[in-house]
Amino acid sequence: MPPSTRRTSRILENKVPEITAVFWVIKILATTVGETGADYLAVNAGLGTGLTTGLTCAVLLALLCIQVAMPRYVPAIYWLTVVFVSVVGTQLTDVLTDRMEVSLYYSTAAFAFLLLVAFAVWYAVERTLSIHAVDTTRRELFYWLVVLLTFALGTAAGDLATEALGLGFTLGVLVFSGAIAFIGLLYFANMNGVLAFWLAYVLTRPLGASLGDLLSQSQIYGGLGLGAVNTSLIFLTIILMLVVYLTLARAGRTQRPA
């Protein structure tokens, strides 16, 4: 085997945590922080969309380098990376919508197409899309590319549903929660596990965004008025507590399949 192939295919412990209730709770909270955190940096902190995108992309790149260099799943690094992927995914959609004035219909369709292409290439190269087999550097790179696209797609789809189609924040939370619950029922009725996971993973993004807007936006706009700072701090605290639990309990690590 050539040296370059060995480097790309080196076997690691699986780098994605076990899919438990804690996984989904942290994922939804992280998506909410991505929505409120991006809004805070761009609007409240006055950085603007462009500077916020540049800074968060730089931090995300550094975190991805650290995450990929790890030989195993480390809860703190993994979930911090997810939080920043959420922020950057939100910013990608905001740049298209606010700066480039691209319709949410077009951006949703474009991100959906890119996600399907990423899945197709990943499967063509690795012959699997399972998160239980993210055990080589190349598979991990595919995984994080797909995760970023799911966040961008979820943001665009969520904004399309709650804003352009007029669902509103409360109804948006109910609709996306119901869609995830329906996928859960299909999974227990023998739906393909990989398909069920990625469908639910995409839908948690607009659910988290709707939840974040519901809590943070002013009551004038249909929110509860907690503000972006308070909402982000509350959810970050909960994420930190759960990550500490996972670290101390050594929970949430998937075993590499035979």
pLDDT of 28 reads 92
Q: How distant, in Å, are the alpha carbons of 166, 218, 246 from that of 227?
A: 21, 7, 29
Assess whether pLDDT exceeds 90 at residue 65.
Answer: yes
Pick the residue with more confidence: 6 or 194?
194
pLDDT of 213 reads 81
Q: pTM for this structure?
A: 0.87
* 257 domain residue, yes or no: no
* Six-digit token string for 69: 């260099």
β-pair partners for 17: 253
DSSP state of 196: H
Pick the residue with more confidence: 163 or 152?
152
Band the pLDDT of 3: cuts 50, 70, 90. very low
Long-range Cβ pairs for the range 42-49 (8 Å, 24+):
42/91, 42/94, 43/228, 44/228, 44/229, 49/91, 49/94, 49/95, 49/98, 49/99
**At residue 227, what are phi and psi to the nearest 5 degrees?**
90, 155
Assess whether pLDDT exceeds 70 at residue 5.
Answer: no
* 12 domain residue, yes or no: no
Total structural domains in the chain? 1
* 218 domain residue, yes or no: yes
* 160 domain residue, yes or no: yes
Which residues contact residue 187 at a Cβ distance below 8 angstroms, ignoring those fewer than 6 apart?
193, 196
What domain range includes position 48? 17-249
* 9 domain residue, yes or no: no
pLDDT of 95 reads 86
* 229 domain residue, yes or no: yes
* Entry field: residues in the chain: 258
* 6 domain residue, yes or no: no
* 55 domain residue, yes or no: yes
